Structure 1
Amino acid sequence: MPLTFRKSFQILPGVRLNINRRSWSVTTGGRHGPKRTHSSTGRRTTSMDLPGPFGWRKTTKRSRRG
């Protein structure tokens, strides 16, 4: 079984800092509305819980132009 590391800290009301083995991210938003997550790897996720067992999520990855 692989070892994993994940920790989440609330730094302000509605703002969380999430840290894992490879990256970190900041999540903004509350329980009753959209949440936006910005990761150090360039991934941006917007998610929202819908009534019942439903949820919605859209993830985009920052493109590398060089």
Structure 2
Amino acid sequence: MPLTFRKSFRILPGVRLNINKKSWSITTGGGKNGPRYTRSSTGRHTTSMDLPGPFGWRRTTRSRRTSGH
């Protein structure tokens, strides 16, 4: 099993900075029964929410990076 590096810091109430080996991300929200929004340095945007029971919902999109042409 490979070892991984991941660290999460609470920088403000309801805001977390997540760092791993290749990127970083900011997560906001996720309060009581609310959605979480995550933006990654790689361009990934994720919205997720815990649902009652063992269920959850997640939608992930990747922003299109435009070249300088």
- When the two chains are superposed, the root-mean-square deviation of aligned CA atoms in Å is 1.1
TM-score (norm 1): 0.91
Find the aligned partners of 2:50 and 2:10 in 1 and give their Cα distance. Answer: 20
Unaligned runs of 5+ in 2: none
Aligned residues: 66
Amino acid at match of 2:23: S
Hey, what does 1:64 align to over in structure 2?
A: 65
Amino acid at match of 1:58: R
Hey, what does 1:33 align to over in structure 2?
A: 34
Query: Aligned residues: percent identity?
Result: 76
Return the offset for 1:4: 1.3
Residues 1:10 and 2:39 aligned together: no
In structure 2, the CA distance between the partners of 1:31 and 1:40, relative to structure 1 (3 Å rule), is: farther
In structure 2, the CA distance between the partners of 1:31 and 1:22, relative to structure 1 (3 Å rule), is: farther
Find the aligned partners of 1:15 and 1:24 in 2 and give their Cα distance. Answer: 13
Consecutive aligned runs of 4 or more in structure 1 exceeding 2 Å deviation = none
Hey, what does 1:48 align to over in structure 2?
A: 49
Return the offset for 1:62: 0.9
Amino acid at match of 1:14: G
Return the offset for 1:2: 2.3
Unaligned runs of 5+ in 1: none
Find the aligned partners of 1:3 and 1:17 in 2 and give their Cα distance. Answer: 21
